[in-house]
Amino acid sequence: MHEFSIARAIVGVVEDALDASVHRVAAVRLRVGSLASVVPAALVAAFPYAAAGTRLAGAEVRIDVVAAGGPCMACGDDVDLEPGSFRCPRCGGRLSAMRRGQELEVASVDVEREPVTTPLAGGDRDG
Amino acid sequence: MAETHLDGNVQRLRVTPRYETIDLSTRALVANEHDATRVRVRLAALGALGVNLIGSPGAGKTTLTGAVLRELARRGRRAAALVGDCATDADGRRLAGTGAWVRQLIVGEACHLEAHMIVDALGGFDDDLLDVLLIENVGNLVCPAGFDLGEAERWVCVSVTEGEDKPRKYPATFATADVVVVTKFDLVDASGVDLDELRAAIADAAPAAATYEVSARTGEGVAELVDRLDRGAGEEG
């Protein structure tokens, strides 16, 4: 679903968050819920097109998939659902609410800042 | 290491790159959320309850919206509607026949409504008061799910003629529902749908949602559905 426009939104969010001393983004870490209607491989494939010409060009995209889950009505535990299942993996009960699994967020970025330049002591000798 | 030449002397410099991991914890669709907040602020100022109707093409959203608009008018409530489609203003014309303020939004290839479209459309609403704004999303059971339109309630519509599997086939969308409306209920026998299984599928995929079984054509269940808007409108107003 719209992985390219989502990639563009992510590039925008990251660019807005970083100050001018950041030269380049080397990696972007995303949290994508299993019920977010986003295909991780498609997002990774679309990302370079969205990042071209920005500080995120060439950045590696790492995705943590967040399992769907919430409190089970029957046993009361807060549980993660197995892929494709809606029932509590411990007791088979229904959830009272879907608390997790719809995330689509930028967790963190690895950046390269403007380098620090220091003069070395001496003329032709290393200091 | 770099070298520069100053006054004939070679000046050696050490250039040290700096790497850092920055925690952002920022939602990717924050721009849409910002616009959704603008919609909420505008609706709050009007005293209006916003509803986002999502469902497959042909689920009966337009007919349901029309029935809800007519029932609200019958109760003396002020209602308006926005309807999204990829092409044509056919649905907008149908709903305008109810006498409510209606605007048609043509989204072209976008296939879902986004909050900035609602902000723009409400810019054309001149009245000071409104009880209910119905937003009929583009017919699509996938893409609209990720876009908050600033609604107070999200109604996911599924007709009895779509079979009992829909909630399990589209779990991501049903998981976002505040209300599930089972539409075309007058056809429940003719459709041959396994109603028990449909109800179970809804309970699994949308555990916290309220379910209504409605026929917009015969009126069955419409009053109960509008009652929840009346209660909400009463609280807002």
* pLDDT at B236 > cutoff 70: no
* pLDDT at B8 > cutoff 70: no
Distance between CA B19 and CA A27 in Å, rounded? Answer: 11
B37: how many CB neighbours lie within 10 A of its CB? 14
CA distances from A11 to A61, B112, B113, B145, B154 (A): 11, 21, 21, 21, 29
Q: Which of A10, A112, A119 sits opposite B28 (nearest CB)?
A: A10
What is residue B12's predicted lDDT score, i.e. its pLDDT?
87
Contact between chains at A13 and B11 (C-beta distance less than 8 A): no
Contact between chains at A106 and B24 (C-beta distance less than 8 A): yes
Structure ipTM over 0.90, yes or no: no
Query: Of A72-81, B49-58, B65-74, B227-236, which gets the smallest average pLDDT?
Result: B227-236
Angle between helices A3-17 and B30-46 (to 10 degrees): 90
Calculated CA dihedral for residues A13, A16, A17, A18, nearest 10 degrees: 130
Q: Which of A17, A107, A115 sits opposite B18 (nearest CB)?
A: A115
What is residue B84's predicted lDDT score, i.e. its pLDDT?
94
What is residue A122's predicted lDDT score, i.e. its pLDDT?
60
